Amino acid sequence: MTGRGRPGESAARTFEALPPAKGSRAPFAESWWGRAWLRSLEESSLDSGRLQRGRTYARGGAVGQVTVAPGSAAAPVQGSRRTPYRSTVQVEQLTDRQWDRLLDMIAERAANIAALLDGEMPAGLADDAAAAGVPLLPGPRDLDPECSCPDWGYPCKHAAALCYQVARLLDRDPFVLLLLRGRGEQELMDELGRRNTARASAEAAVATATAGTDRSGPPARTGDPAGPAFASRADLPSLPAPPPLPDRAGRGPALMDSAVPEPGLDPAALELLAADTAMRAHHLLAGALGSRHADTAPPVPLTNWQDAVRFAAAHPTPEVFARIASNCGRTPRDLAAATRAWRHGGAASLDVLESSWTPPASRLERDREALRADWADSRPPRLRSWRNRWTVEGHNAQLRLGRDGLWYPYTKDQGIWWPAGPPDADPAVVLTALLET
């Protein structure tokens, strides 16, 4: 590995093991720099099946404490034997000359420093660095995974699991990426502070010299430059705390016991609509106060049927079911299945219930190979395939692939297929959960 040869072991950071997240539909990386890390892993892998297994291991909590140091990340990963394997992934460190160019780019704009301190990686910085020949983000073949297990895969499933966990760490803290490239957070901030101070002194000297030769303009402003303030955490003013999120949505007005209603007004329906509005407002506020609100795509407008199903899922009373089923021309059983699907995945899950489609053959074959690789010590159950649906022979169980790339579990009861749980990108996770119920 090319590198600076410093800093020493003191720059290493250790992160506690993440809890198991089996069956979760959440992606391993939400930030663009975390996804760039995963692209590098997946484009350099020689075996998609081992990547699938690595995701399963990572979701299942098999990865222990992750230690990140200049040029590498390492963690114990629990495999089939009692003693965990030791997995590492190495990343090429930047040279001194590359670091100089990168630090100059960061110091040129105070907004770059502010974004890093706020847990964000400025996209413009990565683009400028790449244009200047500084590979801030890893590309294909830039990751070098290793493991103490006897598997010859590149990477093996244990090292792949470590790489997926590192993506989660990158999501939370972009300084993890900079540490992998060779320098720790404190060292970077100290160096940026020195560069900003030197830059400010040079600019002040130029301003003083200019003022001495040209006295026709207004008097020079005095005060501290903004650059050093952004370079120091201590000098940054604290932001006001966001408003607290209420524990639950408000109840809305009570109209049933009020005065005689206007002709044509249904007080019960109006109360329910007010309660639903309060509940949706509470949900939107929770999203706005979340740490990743800026990365969240705007909601897609719902059709009348989708909104009716959402409403019934949020207010599951016999009266609501009867009224919605009647007004939509659906049977109560149709609406019951639709609301169950909605609770497991919203509009995407409802589409899986109500329509079939033909996925690319390459996608199905890749997932079949991953399923065989994931099924430890035995062959997976036989599956009958039709379009996007895999029916498990000998069981009232079925997997359906959604257009969102997730597999949804279904079980048959009295001849009707019912949504049976949350989806997952790994069919082995969904099938295992189905057969255990």
Are 346 and 366 members of one domain?
no
Q: Examine the fold and report which residue of 313, 335, 354 is the final residue of a domain before the chain moves on.
A: 354
Quick check: is 250 in a domain? no
d(CA 403, CA 345): 12
Q: Are 156 and 68 in contact (CB under 8 A)?
A: no
Are 334 and 388 members of one domain?
no
| Residue 417 Cα distances to 277, 348, 429, angstroms | 32, 17, 20
Are 346 and 388 members of one domain?
no
The domain in which residue 148 lies consists of 9-94+135-183
Quick check: is 130 in a domain? no
Are 278 and 372 members of one domain?
no
Quick check: is 116 in a domain? no
| Residue 232 Cα distances to 176, 190, 199, 200, 227, angstroms | 19, 8, 15, 15, 9
Instruction: Say if residue 209's pLDDT is above 70.
Output: no
Instruction: Say if residue 407's pLDDT is above 80.
Output: yes
Quick check: is 221 in a domain? no
Number of domain units in the chain = 3
| For range 211-226, the mean pLDDT | 54
Quick check: is 389 in a domain? yes
pLDDT at 80: 73
| For range 259-275, the mean pLDDT | 60
Are 341 and 377 members of one domain?
no
Q: Are 181 and 75 in contact (CB under 8 A)?
A: no
Are 287 and 402 members of one domain?
no
Q: Examine the fold and report which residue of 354, 370, 396 is the final residue of a domain before the chain moves on.
A: 354
Q: Examine the fold and report which residue of 354, 369, 393 is the final residue of a domain before the chain moves on.
A: 354
SS (H, E, C) 32-74: HHHHHHHHHHHHHCCCHHHHHHHHHHHHCCCECCEEEECCEEE
Give 1: exposed, middle or buried? Use CB within 10 Å, 0-12, 13-18, 19+. exposed
- Among the residue ranges 79-93, 268-282, 395-409, the one predicted with the least confidence is 268-282
Quick check: is 255 in a domain? no
- pTM reported for the whole predicted model: 0.48
Are 415 and 370 members of one domain?
yes
Query: What band does 219 get if pLDDT is binned at 50, 70 and 90?
Result: low
Are 335 and 372 members of one domain?
no
Are 87 and 54 members of one domain?
yes
Residue 91 neighbours by CB distance under 10 Å: 25
Quick check: is 100 in a domain? no
pLDDT at 65: 92
Are 279 and 369 members of one domain?
no
Are 176 and 68 members of one domain?
yes
- Among the residue ranges 107-111, 332-336, 396-400, the one predicted with the least confidence is 107-111
Are 78 and 170 members of one domain?
yes
Quick check: is 219 in a domain? no
Instruction: Say if residue 7's pLDDT is above 50.
Output: no
Residue 162 neighbours by CB distance under 10 Å: 30
Query: What band does 4 get if pLDDT is binned at 50, 70 and 90?
Result: very low
